[in-house]
Amino acid sequence: MVKRIFVVDDEKRIADTLAVILRQRGYEVSAFYDAHTALAQAEMSVPELIISDVIMPGMSGVDMAVLVRERYPTCKILLLSGNVGTLDLLELVRQRGHDFELLAKPIYPGDLLEKVATVC
């Protein structure tokens, strides 16, 4: 069965590049450039995995991850960040009972594919 993945990053080039890498491995991937659009699409078709940047305008990837976890508990979530300050955001949500895995940007294609294979 093909796994559906959403990639969410406000940097279009990053979202599109990650989507291409995953598609080449046979995943069904949709790229989104903001959390609100990804959440709207999830209402119509819940993915097995969401890979999201942490720092985005409008709604952070952490806030989106909390909503996804509450609405779609079977959906897996991987967060990406190149910003050390995101650790504070993750600690705040951990205190509220949510624990998300954080991957460092830039992420190498092989590392991404390996992580996705273990999560899916």
pLDDT of residue 77 exceeding 80? yes
| Ordered domains of the chain (ranges, CATH) | 4-119 (3.40.50.2300)
Higher-pLDDT residue of 90, 37: 37
Looking at residue 104, its pLDDT comes to 83
Tell me how far apart the 2 most distant CA atoms of the chain are, in Å. Answer: 38
Is the predicted pLDDT of residue 40 greater than 70, yes or no?
yes
pLDDT at 89 over 80: no
The mean pLDDT value of the chain amounts to 90
Residue 93, pLDDT > 90, answer: no
Sheet with 4-8: strands ordered across: 28-32, 4-8, 49-53, 76-81, 101-104
**Across the strands, what pairs with 30?**
6
Question: Whole-model pTM?
Answer: 0.90
